[in-house]
């Protein structure tokens, strides 16, 4: 899994530590068995329009992104043992609870992930 950050179209860093799950095994595992995300962390799951929190013990904020990286749906504090999705979404950004409010993300915002320099 690669580490990077998510930026708004204007260049503002929205989340500074974001892992990108692109392969099938990475997408299937997601955050299962991992500790809760910190407020500056997230996971971008590509080719993903629906997520679940079965087997998880913590809540998640979710931003569903369309094929152009535009936010098409926001879910605040999805509880464990729940599902959420969007038919328009091509990827999902999973965040610590409260991050959507803190970052003031809105429907229509355009986001992009950039790999961290090594």
Residues listed for the chain: 118
Domain definitions of the chain by residue range = 2-82+91-113
Q: pLDDT of 90-103, one tens digit each?
A: 999 999 999 999 99
State residue 25's pLDDT score: 81
CATH number given to 2-82+91-113: 2.60.120.1140
Which residue, among 5, 9, 4, has the nearest Cα to 70 in the 3D structure?
A: 9
Band (pLDDT 50/70/90 cuts) for residue 26 is: confident
- Give 24 or 105, the one with higher predicted confidence: 105
Does residue 29 sit in helix, strand or coil?
Answer: helix
Q: pLDDT of 38-62, one tens digit each?
A: 999 999 999 999 999 998 999 999 9
State residue 43's pLDDT score: 94
pTM value > 0.85: yes
Residue 118 in tokens: 């090594």
Residue with tokens 């950050």: 5
């Amino acid at each position: 899994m690669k580490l990077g950050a998510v930026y708004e179209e204007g260049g503002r860093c929205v989340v500074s530590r974001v892992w990108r799950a692109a392969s099938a095994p990475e997408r299937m595992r997601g955050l299962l068995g991992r500790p809760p995300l910190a407020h500056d962390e997230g996971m971008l799951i590509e080719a993903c329009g629906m997520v679940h929190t079965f087997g998880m013990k913590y809540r998640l904020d979710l931003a569903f992104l369309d094929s152009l990286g535009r936010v098409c749906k926001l879910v605040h504090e999805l509880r464990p043992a729940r599902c959420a999705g969007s038919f328009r979404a091509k990827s999902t950004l999973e965040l610590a609870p409260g991050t959507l409010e803190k970052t003031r993300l809105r429907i229509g915002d355009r986001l992009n992930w950039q790999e961290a320099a090594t």
